[in-house]
Amino acid sequence: MKVYCAIASLGVLLSPATEAFTPGSLSAASYNPLKNIVEFNNEISSVTALPGLYANANTMRRTQLQMVPTTPEGNAVQQEDPIDQLVEEVKVMDVNAIINTSVIVLVVVAVLNQIISVDAGMMRGWSAEEMAVRIPVDNWASYSAVLEKTPLYTKAVTSATVYTIGDFIAQRTEGAGMGELDRPRLLRSLLAGLIGHGPLSHVWYDLSENVFDNVLHLRDWWGTIAKVAIDQTTWGPFWNNTYILLLGLMKMDSFEKIFSEMKRTTIPLIVSGLKLWPLAHIVTYGLIPVENRLLWVDLVEIIWVTILATAAANGGEGGGHGAPAVEEEEAKA
C-alpha cells in the first residue's frame, strides 16, 4: 500500500507539471505540489477507511441481532419479565405440595441440626475424622441417657417417628405426589406409634424378658427360638389388631366395621409377617439388649413397610407386624 501511495503521489506531482507547459493549459505559477499531495492523501485515507467502517457496522449489527431473539421468519420475540415468570410459576404450584415439602424440609433440617450440634461445645479444632467418629458415638450416648431417664416417653416418640416415616414411604410408593399426601393418614400413623406401639412395646419387652428368664427359664441358645415363636403367636397378632382398632377409632368407624376388619386381616397379617419377622426377632431376642429392642424393631419396620408398600403397589398383599401399610389395605377394601 505504501509503494502504491508513493507511485500515485509521484504521478500527481508530475502530471500537473507536464500540463503546465502544454499549450492551452494553466500557467506554471498556478501549480502547487504541496496542495495536491494533501488532497490526494485525504482521498486515499477516505477510500482505505471504508472497509473498516463497513466491518464495524456489520459487527454492531450482528451483536444487536444476537441480543434480540427472533422467530424463524426473522421477527423479534417479545421477552417476558423474569419476575412475572416467577409469579406465574408460583401461582400454578400446588399449595399442598408447598406445605408438605416445607414441613418435611423443616423437620429434616431440625433433626440434622440436632445431630450435628451434639458436640457443639467441644468440637473446635477437631479434624474431619474425629467428627465422623465422635458425632455418631455421642449421639448414641445422648439417646441412651434419655432412654434410661425416660424410657416410656423415649420409646413412644421413637415409634411415632418411625410410623410416620413408614406411612410416608408407603404413600410415596403407592404413587402419591408431594401434593397428594394424605396428611390425616400420616397423623393417624404418628398417633398410633405414639400412644400405641411405643408404650405397649415397652411393656411387652420388659414383661416378656422377665417371663422368659425367671418363669420359663429360656436362657440357652434354643430359648431364642422359643421366644420368637411366642412373640409371633401372641404379641404380633395382639398388636396388629390393636393397630387396626386405633386406626378405626381415629377414623370414627363403627365397631362392626373395625371388628370385621380385624377378622379379615388377622390370619393374612400373621402369614405375611412370617416372611421377615422370625429372622428379625432372632436378632431381637438373641443379640439386642431389652432397652434397645424397640428401636431395632422400629428400624426393621421401616424396611418392612417399604417392602409391603412396594408389593401392594405391584398388586401383591401387604401386612405384618403392625405396619402402617395395613391402612393402605383398608383403603382398598
For residues 169-180, give the mean pLDDT: 84
Place of cell 445422648: 142
pLDDT class of 24 with cuts at 50, 70, 90: very low
Global pTM exceeds 0.85: no
- Average pLDDT on 153-176 reads 89
Non-local CB neighbours of 200 within 8 Å, separated by 6+ positions: 239, 242
Position 97 confidence tier, pLDDT thresholds 50, 70, 90: confident
**Average pLDDT score over residue span 198-211:** 93
The three cell numbers locating residue 310? 412396594
Q: How far is Cα 48 from Cα 267, in angstroms, rounded to an integer?
A: 99
Q: Chain-centre distance of CA 227, in angstroms?
A: 41
Give the total residue count for the chain: 333
Q: Which residue has the higher pLDDT, 310 or 250?
A: 250
Which residues are 70's β-sheet partners? 76
For residue 76, the SS3 value is strand
Compute the distance between CA of residue 91 and CA of residue 153 in angstroms, rounded to an integer. Answer: 43
Report d(CA 332, CA 41) in Å as an integer. 96
HSE-up of residue 219 (Cα within 13 Å, Cβ side): 5
What's residue 76's pLDDT?
58
